[in-house]
Structure 1
Amino acid sequence: MNNRFADALISFKSLTKKIADSWKNRPWYKSLTRAVLILFLMSIAGMAAFYWSIHLGFFGPIPSQQELRNIQNHVASEVYSADSVLLGKYYLQERTDISFDQLPPHFIQALLATEDVRFYEHSGVDRRSLFRVLFKSILLGDESSGGGSTITQQLAKNIFPRKRNKFLSTPINKLKEIIVARKLEAIYSKEEILTLYLNTVSFGENAFGIKTASERFFSVKPKQLNHQEAAVLVGLLKATNTYNPRLHPNKSIERRNLVINQMARYDYLTRAAADSLKSLPLVLRYKQYNHNQGIATYFREHIRRRLNEWCRENEKPDGTSFNLYTDGLKIYTTINARMQRYAENALQTHMAELQATFNEHWGKTKPWTKNRQILLNARNKSHRYKKLKASGLSENEIDKVFLKPVNMKIFTWAGEEEKEMSPLDSIKHYLQFLQAGFMAMEPRSGNVLAWVGGINHKYFKFDHVNINTKRQVGSTFKPIVYATALENGVEPCDFVRARRVTYKNFEDWSPGNANDNYEGSYSVKGALTHSVNTVSVKVLKRATINKTVALAKAMGIQSDIPKVPSIALGTPNISLYEMVNAFATFANHGVVSHPNFLLKITDKDGNILENFQRDPLGEQVMSTQTADMMVEMMRNVVNKGTAARLRTKYQLQNDIAGKTGTTQSHADGWFMGFTPELVAGVWVGSDDPNIHFRSITYGQGAAMALPIWALFIKQLNKDRQLNHYTKAKFSTPGNTVRTLMDCEDYRDRRSFIDEIFAKILKKRDRPKPKRTKTRRQRRKKRNN
Structure 2
Amino acid sequence: MKLTNNLQNVLTYLRKKLKQFPAKARHMGEYLRTHFQWKWLLLGIIGIFLFGLLCAFGFLLAVHQGSFGKLPSSEELSHIQHHEASEIYSADGLLLGKYFIQERTNITYEQLSKNVTDALVATEDARFFEHNGIDYKSLFRVFFKTILMQDASSGGGSTITQQLAKNLYPREAYGIFALLVSKVKEAIIANRLEEMYSKEEILTLYFNTVPFGDHSFGIETAAERFFNKKPIELNVAEAAVLVGMLKANYTYNPRLFPEKSQERRNVVLSQMEKYGYLESSVKDSLQQLPIELDYQYQTHNEGLATYFREHLRQELQQQVASLQKEDGTPYNLYTDGLKIYTTIDSRAQTMAEKAMSSHMEELQKLFFQHWKNRTPWGKDESFVWKLAQQSPRYQQLQKQGLKEKQIREVFEQPVKTTIFTWQGEEEKEISPLDSVKHHLHFLHAGVLAMDPKSGAVKVWIGGINHKYFKYDHVNTQTKRQVGSTFKPIVYAAALENGISPCQYFSNELVSYAEYDDWTPKNSDGNYEGKYSLTGALTKSVNTVSVKLILENGIDNTIQFARKLGIESDIEPVPSIALGAANISLYEMVNAYSVFANLGYQVKPHYLLRIEDKHGKVLKNFRPATSPQKVVSTQTAQLITEMLKSVVDSGTAASLRSRYGLRNDIAGKTGTTQSHADGWFMGYTPHLVMGVWVGSDYPNIHFRSIKLGQGATMALPIWGKFMQQLNKDESLKAVSRARFKRPSGEVLRLLDCPAFKDNAPFMANFFESLFGPRKKEPNVKQAKKKRKRNQRRRKSHPRIKFRKRR
- Alignment TM-score > 0.5, same fold: yes
Code of the residue aligned with 2:731 in structure 1: it is L
Q: Which position in structure 2 is the counterpart of 1:377?
A: 386
Q: Which position in structure 2 is the counterpart of 1:544?
A: 553
Please report how far the alpha carbon of residue 722 of structure 1 lies from its aligned counterpart in structure 2 after TM superposition: 0.7
Q: Which position in structure 2 is the counterpart of 1:597?
A: 606
Change (3 A) 1:14 1:642: closer
Q: Which position in structure 2 is the counterpart of 1:584?
A: 593
Please report how far the alpha carbon of residue 376 of structure 1 lies from its aligned counterpart in structure 2 after TM superposition: 2.4
For residues 508 and 466 of structure 1, the distance between their equivalents in structure 2, rounded to whole angstroms, comes to 36
Contact conserved, 1:445 with 1:616, CA < 8 A, in 2? no
Q: Which position in structure 1 is the counterpart of 2:422?
A: 413
Q: Which position in structure 2 is the counterpart of 1:765?
A: none
Contact conserved, 1:520 with 1:752, CA < 8 A, in 2? no
Q: Which position in structure 2 is the counterpart of 1:776?
A: none
Q: Which position in structure 1 is the counterpart of 2:158?
A: 149
Contact conserved, 1:490 with 1:542, CA < 8 A, in 2? no
Q: Which position in structure 1 is the counterpart of 2:205?
A: 196
Q: Which position in structure 2 is the counterpart of 1:432?
A: 441
Change (3 A) 1:13 1:291: closer
Change (3 A) 1:589 1:397: same
For residues 570 and 450 of structure 2, the distance between their equivalents in structure 1, rounded to whole angstroms, comes to 24
Give CA-to-partner distance per residue, 1:233-258, whole Å, 9 cap, x none: 10111111111111222211111111
Contact conserved, 1:124 with 1:153, CA < 8 A, in 2? yes
Give CA-to-partner distance per residue, 1:408-442, whole Å, 9 cap, x none: 22211111122222110110111111110111111
- Report matched runs for 1:242-391 at 5 Å: 242-391=251-400
Q: Which position in structure 2 is the counterpart of 1:460?
A: 469
Contact conserved, 1:124 with 1:185, CA < 8 A, in 2? yes
Code of the residue aligned with 1:490 in structure 2: it is I
Q: Which position in structure 2 is the counterpart of 1:207?
A: 216
Aligned partner of 1:571 among 580, 583, 589: 580
For residues 600 and 35 of structure 2, the distance between their equivalents in structure 1, rounded to whole angstroms, comes to 112
For residues 74 and 94 of structure 1, the distance between their equivalents in structure 2, rounded to whole angstroms, comes to 8
Please report how far the alpha carbon of residue 166 of structure 1 lies from its aligned counterpart in structure 2 after TM superposition: 3.7
Aligned partner of 1:689 among 674, 677, 698: 698
Higher mean displacement: 28-37 or 622-631: 28-37
- Report matched runs for 1:440-455 at 5 Å: 440-455=449-464
Code of the residue aligned with 2:307 in structure 1: it is Y
For residues 146 and 90 of structure 1, the distance between their equivalents in structure 2, rounded to whole angstroms, comes to 38
Contact conserved, 1:650 with 1:710, CA < 8 A, in 2? yes
Code of the residue aligned with 2:232 in structure 1: it is K
Q: Which position in structure 2 is the counterpart of 1:93?
A: 102
Q: Which position in structure 1 is the counterpart of 2:792?
A: none
Asked whether 1:533 is paired with 2:535, we answer no
Contact conserved, 2:479 with 2:585, CA < 8 A, in 1? yes
- Report matched runs for 1:382-781 at 5 Å: 382-614=391-623, 617-750=626-759, 754-755=763-764
Higher mean displacement: 280-289 or 110-119: 280-289
Contact conserved, 2:323 with 2:618, CA < 8 A, in 1? no
Give CA-to-partner distance per residue, 1:309-364, whole Å, 9 cap, x none: 11122211111111111111111111111111111111111111111111111100
For residues 550 and 674 of structure 1, the distance between their equivalents in structure 2, rounded to whole angstroms, comes to 23
Please report how far the alpha carbon of residue 521 of structure 1 lies from its aligned counterpart in structure 2 after TM superposition: 1.5
Please report how far the alpha carbon of residue 696 of structure 1 lies from its aligned counterpart in structure 2 after TM superposition: 1.2
Contact conserved, 1:601 with 1:609, CA < 8 A, in 2? yes
Higher mean displacement: 664-673 or 615-624: 615-624
Please report how far the alpha carbon of residue 12 of structure 1 lies from its aligned counterpart in structure 2 after TM superposition: 4.0
> What residue ranges of structure 1 are gaps of 5+ in the alignment?
763-784
Contact conserved, 1:444 with 1:616, CA < 8 A, in 2? no
**Percent of aligned positions that are identical:** 54
Contact conserved, 1:445 with 1:617, CA < 8 A, in 2? no
SS of the aligned residue for 1:440 comes to strand
Change (3 A) 1:171 1:526: same
Give CA-to-partner distance per residue, 1:159-201, whole Å, 9 cap, x none: 1111123442221212211121111112212111111111111
Change (3 A) 1:530 1:752: farther
SS of the aligned residue for 1:750 comes to coil
Asked whether 1:59 is paired with 2:76, we answer no
Higher mean displacement: 147-156 or 130-139: 130-139
Contact conserved, 1:591 with 1:617, CA < 8 A, in 2? no
Give CA-to-partner distance per residue, 1:533-576, whole Å, 9 cap, x none: 11111111122111211121111112111111111011111111
Higher mean displacement: 221-230 or 11-20: 11-20
SS of the aligned residue for 1:599 comes to strand
Contact conserved, 2:603 with 2:623, CA < 8 A, in 1? no
Change (3 A) 1:15 1:320: closer
Code of the residue aligned with 1:721 in structure 2: it is S
Code of the residue aligned with 1:126 in structure 2: it is D
Change (3 A) 1:46 1:530: same
For residues 446 and 744 of structure 1, the distance between their equivalents in structure 2, rounded to whole angstroms, comes to 36
Change (3 A) 1:431 1:611: same
Please report how far the alpha carbon of residue 140 of structure 1 lies from its aligned counterpart in structure 2 after TM superposition: 7.0
SS of the aligned residue for 2:732 comes to coil
Change (3 A) 1:262 1:502: same
Asked whether 1:110 is paired with 2:133, we answer no
Q: Which position in structure 1 is the counterpart of 2:225?
A: 216
For residues 484 and 270 of structure 1, the distance between their equivalents in structure 2, rounded to whole angstroms, comes to 80
Change (3 A) 1:589 1:752: farther
Code of the residue aligned with 1:512 in structure 2: it is K
Code of the residue aligned with 1:652 in structure 2: it is L
Q: Which position in structure 2 is the counterpart of 1:47?
A: 56
Give CA-to-partner distance per residue, 1:65-114, whole Å, 9 cap, x none: 11111111211111111111111111111111111111111211100000
Change (3 A) 1:434 1:550: same
SS of the aligned residue for 1:194 comes to helix
Change (3 A) 1:11 1:730: closer
Code of the residue aligned with 1:393 in structure 2: it is L
Please report how far the alpha carbon of residue 379 of structure 1 lies from its aligned counterpart in structure 2 after TM superposition: 1.4
Give CA-to-partner distance per residue, 1:105-133, whole Å, 9 cap, x none: 12111000001111111121112223434
Number of aligned residue pairs: 756
Contact conserved, 1:407 with 1:421, CA < 8 A, in 2? yes
Higher mean displacement: 15-24 or 194-203: 15-24
Provide the TM-score with structure 2 as the length reference.
0.90
Please report how far the alpha carbon of residue 13 of structure 1 lies from its aligned counterpart in structure 2 after TM superposition: 9.0
SS of the aligned residue for 1:531 comes to coil
SS of the aligned residue for 1:78 comes to strand
Contact conserved, 1:519 with 1:748, CA < 8 A, in 2? yes
Change (3 A) 1:137 1:745: farther
Please report how far the alpha carbon of residue 134 of structure 1 lies from its aligned counterpart in structure 2 after TM superposition: 5.2
For residues 25 and 713 of structure 1, the distance between their equivalents in structure 2, rounded to whole angstroms, comes to 110
Contact conserved, 2:605 with 2:623, CA < 8 A, in 1? no
Higher mean displacement: 449-458 or 737-746: 737-746
Contact conserved, 2:418 with 2:425, CA < 8 A, in 1? yes
Contact conserved, 1:454 with 1:464, CA < 8 A, in 2? yes
For residues 591 and 414 of structure 1, the distance between their equivalents in structure 2, rounded to whole angstroms, comes to 44
Asked whether 1:119 is paired with 2:128, we answer yes
Change (3 A) 1:29 1:166: same
SS of the aligned residue for 2:753 comes to coil
